[in-house]
């Protein structure tokens, strides 16, 4: 076979593969998704989430180094996050507080509140934590336990998906609601595994969200919230989290239905994945904002049910998968543009 012919065949195969991938994802540029299930009439809506962009926003945070509380990298990243949300048309406020870690450390915390379309009455809250865990205490090698976590997935990914959504909202003015992007600080200063069990240790997590839940901006009452935690890991699947079901079952169902419509059903199985202590707990309990958690559950992972890199020194860009970022980002866009 001559090389030109090979090239033509190669091209035809590429086309076939590309269109196959497209129809699988149900992303046919606004057309109705072909299906034999006559009950499925909803179609993908809203702008196309760009996974390369979200990936770059994840890497940009990691480039500062681990964003551990009270560190220079933390403060530099804070300024970067604020500038990105401003760049994409949000009004940004910060909420600063000295919070107390389980070990008595004073944590200089900043919750970042970025509002898109701040005058809209009807509002939705998206949130994620932006700090890095100071200790890789779940690393298989115990000599790494006191090293900081890069937190590409457990920190940067959620913020990156939110920044990319803000970028898309600015480019497409057809949204009917306002969106508040809340970046919680001091989520990951929870009691390390080497400490013997402490009473009330679950309160050592989500310190920034606890503070926010008790110090809401004047009159703040969004319809519901969606927390994004570890939304970029390779092999991730997002099961229906138990606390979310207890406080906001209709939102869980809405989001999982949106995932199906957007073509990402395989990332969002409808089974339950257990109850997780996370930022959404104080938001539900103290602020009464029905808030769900999109958080992975790895049923068969020995290292952690949050995935093999959770609280290890391997939570780096190498293990970020653009397809996971896309599945979550496009699903959230589907929710927002269906309101």
- What is the binding site for ligand AHN (CB under 6 A)? 154, 188, 205, 229, 276-278
In sequence order, the β-bridge partners of residue 240 are 272
When the beta carbons of 131 and 180 are compared against Zn ion, the nearer one is 131
Q: Interior CA angle at 239 toward 235 and 245, to 5°?
A: 160
**Minimum distance, C-beta of residue 74 to Zn ion, in the bound complex (Å):** 15
Q: Interior CA angle at 285 toward 282 and 286, to 5°?
A: 75
What b/e string do you get for 162-197 counting C-beta neighbours within 10 Å, with b at 16 or more?
bbbbbbbbeeeeebebbbbbbbbbbbbbbbbeeeee
> Pick from ligand AHN, Zn ion, none: which does 293 bind, CB < 5 to 8 A by kind?
none
Which of these segments, 73-81, 132-140, 275-283, 324-332, binds Zn ion (CB under 5 A)? 132-140
- Which of 137, 188, 257, 278 touches Zn ion (CB under 5 A)? 188
Helix/strand/coil for 174? coil
**Structure tokens that stand for 145 in this block:** 């336990």
**Structure tokens that stand for 10 in this block:** 């190669």
Distance CA 319, CA 308 (A): 10
**Minimum distance, C-beta of residue 133 to Zn ion, in the bound complex (Å):** 5
When the beta carbons of 188 and 279 are compared against Zn ion, the nearer one is 188
78 in contact with Zn ion (CB under 5 A)? no
Q: If you ran DSSP here, which 8-state letter would residue 218 be given?
A: T
Which of these segments, 96-104, 184-192, 275-283, 294-302, binds Zn ion (CB under 5 A)? 184-192
**Minimum distance, C-beta of residue 162 to Zn ion, in the bound complex (Å):** 17
Q: In what order do the strands lie in the sheet with 106-116?
A: 91-100, 106-116, 178-184, 123-129, 224-228, 291-294
Q: In degrees rounded to 5, what are phi and psi of residue 82?
A: -60, -45
When the beta carbons of 2 and 196 are compared against ligand AHN, the nearer one is 196
**Minimum distance, C-beta of residue 202 to ligand AHN, in the bound complex (Å):** 6
When the beta carbons of 51 and 158 are compared against ligand AHN, the nearer one is 158
| Closest C-alpha among 181, 192, 210 to residue 102 | 192
When the beta carbons of 154 and 180 are compared against ligand AHN, the nearer one is 154
Neighbours of 8 (CB within 10 A): 9
When the beta carbons of 54 and 68 are compared against Zn ion, the nearer one is 68
**Minimum distance, C-beta of residue 269 to Zn ion, in the bound complex (Å):** 22
When the beta carbons of 90 and 162 are compared against ligand AHN, the nearer one is 162
| Closest C-alpha among 301, 252, 244 to residue 278 | 244
Footprint (CB under 5 A) of Zn ion, residues 280-339: none
When the beta carbons of 263 and 282 are compared against Zn ion, the nearer one is 282
> Pick from ligand AHN, Zn ion, none: which does 280 bind, CB < 5 to 8 A by kind?
none
Cβ atoms 164, 337 nearer than 8 A: no
Footprint (CB under 5 A) of Zn ion, residues 101-130: none
CA distances, 184 to each of 70, 157, 164 (Å) = 15, 13, 17
When the beta carbons of 93 and 277 are compared against ligand AHN, the nearer one is 277
In sequence order, the β-bridge partners of residue 182 are 113, 127
> Pick from ligand AHN, Zn ion, none: which does 276 bind, CB < 5 to 8 A by kind?
ligand AHN
154 in contact with Zn ion (CB under 5 A)? yes
**Minimum distance, C-beta of residue 152 to Zn ion, in the bound complex (Å):** 12
> Pick from Zn ion, ligand AHN, none: which does 287 bind, CB < 5 to 8 A by kind?
none
Closest-approach residue to ligand AHN (CB): 277
H-helix segments, the chain: 3-25, 51-62, 72-87, 158-171, 207-214, 242-262, 280-285, 322-337
The alpha carbon torsion through 58, 62, 68, 71 (nearest 10 deg) reads -130
> Pick from Zn ion, ligand AHN, none: which does 205 bind, CB < 5 to 8 A by kind?
ligand AHN
Residues that bind Zn ion (CB under 5 A): 133, 154, 188
């Amino acid at each position: 076979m001559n090389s030109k012919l090979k090239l033509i065949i190669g091209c035809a195969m590429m086309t076939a593969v590309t269109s196959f991938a497209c129809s699988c994802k149900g992303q046919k540029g606004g057309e109705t998704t072909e299906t034999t299930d006559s009950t499925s009439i909803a179609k993908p809506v809203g702008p196309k989430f760009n996974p390369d962009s979200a990936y770059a926003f994840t890497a940009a945070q990691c480039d500062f180094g681990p964003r551990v509380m009270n560190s220079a990298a933390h403060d530099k990243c804070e300024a970067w996050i604020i500038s990105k949300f401003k760049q994409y048309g949000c009004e940004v406020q910060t909420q600063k507080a000295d919070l107390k870690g389980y070990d008595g450390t004073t944590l200089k915390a900043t919750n970042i509140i970025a509002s898109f379309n701040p005058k809209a009455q009807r509002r939705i809250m998206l949130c994620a934590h932006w700090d890095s865990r100071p200790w890789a205490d779940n690393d298989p090698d115990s000599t790494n336990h006191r090293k900081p976590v890069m937190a590409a997935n457990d920190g940067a990914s959620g913020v990156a998906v939110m920044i990319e959504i803000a970028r898309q909202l600015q480019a497409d003015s057809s949204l009917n609601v306002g969106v508040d992007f809340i970046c919680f600080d001091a989520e990951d200063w929870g009691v390390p595994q080497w400490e013997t069990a402490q009473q009330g240790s679950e309160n050592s997590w989500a310190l920034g969200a606890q503070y926010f839940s008790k110090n809401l901006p004047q009159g703040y009452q969004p319809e519901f919230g969606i927390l994004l935690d570890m939304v970029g890991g390779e092999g991730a699947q997002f099961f229906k989290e138990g606390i979310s079901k207890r406080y906001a079952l209709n939102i869980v169902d809405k989001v999982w239905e949106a995932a199906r419509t957007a073509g990402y059903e395989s990332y969002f199985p409808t089974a339950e994945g257990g109850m997780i202590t996370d930022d959404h707990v104080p938001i539900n309990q103290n602020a009464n904002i029905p808030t769900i958690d999109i958080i992975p559950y790895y049923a068969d992972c020995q290292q952690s049910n949050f995935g093999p890199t959770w609280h290890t020194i391997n939570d780096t860009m190498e293990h970020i998968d653009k397809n996971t970022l896309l599945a979550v980002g496009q699903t959230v866009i589907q929710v927002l543009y269906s309101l």
